[in-house]
Chains A and B, each alone.
Chain A
């Protein structure tokens, strides 16, 4: 790498990478010095070896969880955004729907997941539904906030210019809400990963959550840790993708 690119890379990623490396070293030392049993805390090397040993198995399960997560996430947007618009558009709907959404959010999803599975089946669709149930709330709340948090001066100005309600909505409120919407989606996408794993824990025969379950039951804690690392990586990648979309669609909102 050219010296300048190296410097930029180091500046941006140097600190977190060094911290991770240091943590990894401490972890390895701890397992060695304290002779921790492998089923309790595997060494980083054992985790790496487990991942490498099962590398042919991982892609198919990763794909299943990824599809569940992304499909559920997209569905949450499809459900959440119109819901948010409805809430902002009609105060009547806001008073009637919003409390219900709040109540639904308070139900622990680990309790809902088994019900979904019995109602819908043990295939991917029940997991997607669990994802929607965890991911749609931040999208709705943040989009509602965005649609309502428009500068009053701007609203006054377009009213003077005799803008219709629809024009105000489409040309002023919607663009203004984009940064808030993306804020919500960034939270939602990380929750979506958790949602698909919860769904898989309750009942699945494929996916990373299922792998964790099988590995755990076989006391392969090294593989459990490895799959957890992959899950966290997947969450990070999805987060970055959403942020990239934000940079693309509403560049004015992304600052450093």
Chain B
């Protein structure tokens, strides 16, 4: 009697031991890297992480900070990162110039985030007012690169605008101390600058997106990883979109998840950053087809603009550049 009970118990335990590790082994590891230092704008990712959306999708995701789009490309090509969040225009660049096989599988910053912030007291209200002024940015930044195209679209002479290039961490101080009249940066920086300039009268904003229709940051994957683990990519995209949707509706909760990872942020500033992402993510095509959807015409514009700006030679097809299938497939 005792022997039979023991045998049954052992049998049950063995089955459990067999099943349980198999369950845990189902979690696919995904190494995800961001575009820069963790900030309030990354609320969607950390919501997906902390609320268990990635877990539910059977993914074990690690989120690490990024070091810009060049580094992002390097990480994807070397396999150091499986998935990267970075700007889509640079995919056009590296595909054409380096033959780097990277694809965009979703767009988050559907309205391009590049802007020029100026102190209100400088009285710069339109792009034309930028002529004759000094703008500060960091070498190789998106705003500097896109400026010729922006200038052409906005009808101003780019040669009449002076660029002061400084390390990225010094930009804010250059604007605040009025060593430059304007600063090129992403629109998500607005809450921090508004807070810092509150005493000095606040800031004005000139958006590249008012004149250029290209896409900003999105989810980027190397084709190698895409072909190797398409299921993982699909689940990651869907869980991330779910994270962003939740973060947009629950900004107070979402900012808490970011702060857990980056305690040095100011809560209100970080929360406001997350809400700006909400504004630029909801493009007309996203409202129609779902968050993250990439419109073909806009992708074509993005690609053609980059070819023009960089005088690229090797063609890049739209099929190479992006796909909506991971967003649309059930």
A positions within 8 Å CB-CB of B:
37, 39-40, 54, 57, 118, 121-122, 203, 205, 211, 213-220, 223
Q: State whether the Cβ of B84 lies closer than 8 Å to any Cβ in chain A.
A: no
**Residue in contact with A37 in the complex, picked from B64, B168, B199, B265, CB distance below 8 Å:** B199
The listed residue (B176, B262, B269) touching A214 by CB distance below 8 A is B262
Indicate if the CB atoms of B173 and A54 lie closer than 8 Å. Answer: no
* Cα separation A37 to B172 with both chains bound (whole Å): 13
**A residues within 8 A CB of B169?**
213, 216-217
CB < 8 Å: which of B64, B173, B177 contacts A205?
B64
* Alpha-carbon separation in the docked complex, A201 to B64 (Å): 16
Interface residue SS majority, chain A: loop
Docked Cα-Cα span, A201 to B85, in Å, equals 21
Q: Do the beta carbons of A57 and B263 come within 8 Å of each other? A: yes
B263-A39 in contact (CB<8A): no
B1 contacts A by Cβ under 8 Å = no
Whether B264 pairs with A122 at a CB distance below 8 angstroms is no
CA distance A219 to B171 in the complex (A): 10
What are 28 A-to-B residue pairs whose CB atoms are below 8 Å?
A37-B199, A39-B172, A39-B176, A54-B263, A54-B264, A57-B263, A121-B80, A122-B67, A203-B67, A203-B71, A205-B65, A211-B264, A213-B37, A213-B169, A214-B264, A215-B264, A216-B169, A216-B170, A217-B37, A217-B168, A217-B169, A217-B172, A218-B265, A218-B266, A218-B269, A219-B176, A220-B264, A223-B264
B interface residues with partner A (beta carbon < 8 Å): 37, 64-65, 67, 71, 74, 80, 168-170, 172-173, 176-177, 192, 196, 199, 262-266, 269
Closest beta carbon of chain A to B66's beta carbon, Å = 10
Cβ-defined partner of A39 (8 Å) among B168, B196, B262, B266: B196
Is B264 in contact with A37, judged by CB distance below 8 angstroms? Answer: no
Docked CA distance A53–B245 (Å): 32
- A57 B264 Cβ-Cβ under 8 A: yes
In the bound complex, residues from chain B placing their C-beta under 8 Å from that of A203 are 67, 71
Give the residue name and chain of the B residue nearest to A213 (CB). B169
- CA–CA, A54 to B262, complex, Å? 11
Task: Indicate if the CB atoms of B264 and A40 lie closer than 8 Å.
Answer: no
Contacts of B80 in A (CB 8 A): 121
Q: Which residues of A contact B37 (CB under 8 A)?
A: 213-214, 217
Bound complex: CA A213 to CA B169 (Å): 7
Bound-state CA distance A249–B197 (Å) is 57
Q: Which of B74, B196, B199, B262 contacts A219 (CB 8 A)?
A: B196
For B168, the chain A residues whose CB sits under 8 A away are 217
Task: Report the Cα distance A214→B36, complex, angstroms.
Answer: 11
Q: Which B residues are in CB contact (< 8 Å) with A121?
A: 80
CB distance from A150 to the nearest CB of B (A): 47
A218 touching B192, Cβ below 8 Å: yes
Task: Using A37-B176, A213-B169, A217-B168 as known contacts, list a sample of 8 further A-B pairs with CB atoms less than 8 Å apart, ordered by residue number in A.
Answer: A39-B172, A40-B173, A54-B263, A203-B67, A211-B264, A213-B37, A215-B264, A218-B264
How many Å from the CB of B163 to the closest CB on chain A?
20
**Complex-state Cα separation, A107 to B173, whole angstroms:** 29
Determine the chain A residues whose CB is within 8 A of the CB of B74 once the complex forms: 118
Please, how many angstroms separate the alpha-carbon atoms of A211 and B196 in the complex? 20
For B170, list chain A residues within 8 Å (CB). Answer: 216
> Which residues of the other chain, B, contact A211 by a CB distance below 8 angstroms?
264
Q: Given A37-B199, A203-B67, A205-B65, are A219 and B172 neighbors across the interface (CB < 8 Å)?
A: yes
